Amino acid sequence: MPSGITVTRTGRPFSELTFSNTALMREIGEGVLARIRARTKAGVDAQGAAFPSLSPAYILQKQKALGHGRADLMVSGRLLNDMMVFPTAAQVTLTFLSGGSTRATGRTLIQRSRSVGAADKAFWHNVTGAGRAHILRPFFDLNDGDEAFALSRLEIFLAQQAR
């Protein structure tokens, strides 16, 4: 008896399957953003490590303005609130509503925070390092759990298409 593998197709023909759509890409993007927001508010980076502490001077400013000195990237809320999802049928882009600015302005810590665009803040925390010490707090990235979430949503969508 010859050995081999037999593949049998069930369900709709392959040529009729839809592999993605805008609604799926939006769902994946919104889910990933929710995961990024949750871990950032908890003060951990994309890999689950705690953010490095803030400088002593910044901790004092943050405690005075907000009542705490946690390294959670939250002062005005602009950074996390300005994260946006732009889906198409084939992909989803995660980006920021507010772009760059030249420098922080305002009398209070919150006013200065709001005057800086979220894209700049994300660049500083993820790429160049924030503050005088250039401390990295990489929050805007995907981890294995984020990828597993996206893959599971895609697999469910494809299984529904194959029926």
pLDDT tens per residue across span 32-82: 999 999 999 999 999 999 999 999 998 999 999 999 999 999 988 888 999
User: What domain range is 69 assigned to?
Assistant: 18-162
Residue at 6 is within a domain? no
Q: Is residue 5 part of a domain?
A: no
Query: Does a structural domain hold residue 8?
Result: no
- How many structural domains is the chain composed of? 1
**What mean pLDDT do residues 3-29 have?**
82
In a domain, 11, yes or no: no
Q: Within a domain: residue 1?
A: no
Indicate whether 3 belongs to any domain.
no
What is the distance, to the nearest Å, from the Cα of residue 90 to the centroid of all Cα atoms in its chain?
Answer: 19
Instruction: Assess whether pLDDT exceeds 70 at residue 1.
Output: no
Residue 25 has pLDDT above 80, yes or no: yes
Assigned domain for 12 exists: no
Is residue 147 scored above 90 in pLDDT?
Answer: yes
Residues 6+ apart with CB under 8 A from 45: 39, 51, 137, 138, 139, 141
Token pair, residue 96, equals: 């920021």
In a domain, 115, yes or no: yes
| Average pLDDT along the chain | 89
